[in-house]
Amino acid sequence: ESTIGFKLANHRAAKKLWKVCVEHHTFFRLMSPEPVKKVGLLPHLGSRFRYSGRTHYETKKIPIERQPPQFERSLSGRRLTSRSMDALGGSQTVETYGSEPSKRHTMSYEPEMIPDMEHIDQRPSI
């Protein structure tokens, strides 16, 4: 174990630091805050300060209750066209692949030329 010392300006600053450390330790280490003990006949030695907030564990277990966001979807101002890989193949059409949805946009052959791609350098980048 290690002991770390702090030299602070006054007693009040030292007490504030101590409380913050207790809160931090309790928040991350305990499943729930320690219950408050009732005062007995003997005077209480030490601090009466106890962390009373939720711990990290409790915070993670409780679901976040939020209202669902309210928004409306609208069409983008961009062109709404889609290019299928089938169009790149030339004479082969959707009928060639049948009506199976998983095969409609899969090319089983390499196209001779891809339009608008001639300007791209085909060498691998380093």
For residues 111 and 88, what is the distance between their CA atoms, to the nearest angstrom? Answer: 7
Arithmetic mean of pLDDT, 73-89? 63
pLDDT of 5: 87
Grade residue 85 by pLDDT with cuts at 50, 70 and 90. Answer: low
For residues 90 and 103, what is the distance between their CA atoms, to the nearest angstrom? Answer: 17
Is the pLDDT confidence value at 3 over 80?
yes
For residues 58 and 16, what is the distance between their CA atoms, to the nearest angstrom? Answer: 25
Arithmetic mean of pLDDT, 77-97? 55
pLDDT of 38: 63
pLDDT of 103: 53
pTM of the model: 0.30
Q: What is the pLDDT of residues 6-64, one digit of tens each?
A: 899 999 999 888 888 877 777 667 666 666 666 666 555 555 556 667 767 777 777 77
